[in-house]
């Protein structure tokens, strides 16, 4: 199993009030090549769960395993290196650097690579932009790109290190329906070709229905949803 969450909880202490229980015993297992979606209303804890799955945050209780190894037992440096090599993030807000070209934005993660990845980062970024259909836009600044093109740049940046796990947080939330569908087609295709696991966090049932398995997060509890209910 590539990624496994066991009994994950997340609780935040609040001064002069009861602690806020965001996640309550979440169990989830995702293997290489799977596409899993997690639905939920705004404030349901979806982004908190994604941050824990992506090793950006730690659970209050429970255990997260990556490739069978308990993440909590890793030293911080080792955990950060593993996340950098194996996890790619795609967010609703594209988070592109305004004064950097598409190529430079995509190449950013390779500044922390070693060997050929570092020295050939510009060429690798250009090749990745070709894969997402932006081969002729590599030298454009973000302000000269449409919303769909900016999201494609963000996807290329997330995939430049060929991660084994792709975490997409509302990847179509800032896009119109047609452009959002094209972006999801691209994510599905690239994840499938790479054999990577794809976890999509969304409030959109149409996006959720694209996954092989769909879950709903409600009141901090994660439960699988039957495909016919999602659709």
Distance in angstroms (rounded) separating the CA atoms of residues 210 and 188:
9
Distance in angstroms (rounded) separating the CA atoms of residues 70 and 48:
19
CATH number of 3-230: 3.40.50.300
What pLDDT, on a 0 to 100 scale, did the predictor assign at position 134? Answer: 95
Ordered strands of the 221-225 beta sheet: 87-91, 165-169, 197-202, 35-39, 213-218, 221-225
What pLDDT, on a 0 to 100 scale, did the predictor assign at position 229? Answer: 62
Provide the residue-wise pLDDT of the chain in tens; the chain has 231 residues.
999 999 999 999 998 889 999 999 999 999 999 999 999 988 889 999 999 999 999 999 999 999 999 999 999 999 999 999 999 999 888 999 999 999 999 999 998 888 888 899 999 999 999 999 999 999 999 999 999 999 999 999 999 999 999 999 999 988 888 988 998 999 999 899 999 999 999 988 989 999 999 999 999 999 999 856 665
Contact yes or no for 120/106 (Cβ under 8 A): no
What pLDDT, on a 0 to 100 scale, did the predictor assign at position 144? Answer: 97
Contact yes or no for 210/37 (Cβ under 8 A): yes
Nearest by Cα to 48 from 196, 169, 212: 169
What pLDDT, on a 0 to 100 scale, did the predictor assign at position 200? Answer: 96
What pLDDT, on a 0 to 100 scale, did the predictor assign at position 89? Answer: 95
DSSP letter (8 states) at residue 111: G
């Amino acid at each position: 199993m590539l990624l496994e969450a066991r009994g994950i909880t997340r609780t935040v202490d609040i001064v002069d009030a009861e602690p806020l229980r965001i996640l309550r015993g979440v169990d989830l297992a995702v293997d290489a090549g799977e596409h899993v979606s997690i639905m939920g209303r705004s404030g349901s804890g979806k982004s908190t769960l994604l941050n824990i799955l992506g090793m950006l945050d730690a659970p209050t209780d429970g255990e997260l395993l990556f490739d069978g190894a308990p993440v909590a037992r890793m030293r911080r440096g080792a955990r950060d290196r593993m996340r950098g090599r194996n996890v790619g993030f795609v967010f609703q807000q594209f988070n592109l650097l305004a004064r950097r070209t598409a190529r430079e934005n995509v190449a950013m993660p390779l500044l922390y690579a070693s060997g050929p990845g570092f020295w050939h980062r510009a060429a690798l970024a250009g090749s990745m932009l070709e894969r997402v259909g932006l081969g002729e836009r590599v030298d454009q600044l973000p302000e000269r790109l449409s919303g769909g093109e900016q999201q494609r740049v963000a996807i290329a940046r997330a995939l430049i290190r060929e991660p084994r796990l792709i975490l997409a947080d509302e990847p179509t939330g800032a896009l119109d329906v047609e452009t959002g569908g094209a972006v999801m087609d691209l994510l599905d295709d690239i994840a499938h070709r790479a054999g990577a696991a794809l976890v999509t966090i969304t409030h959109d049932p149409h996006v959720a229905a694209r996954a092989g398995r769909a879950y709903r997060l409600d009141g901090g509890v994660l439960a699988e949803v039957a495909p016919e209910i999602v659709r």
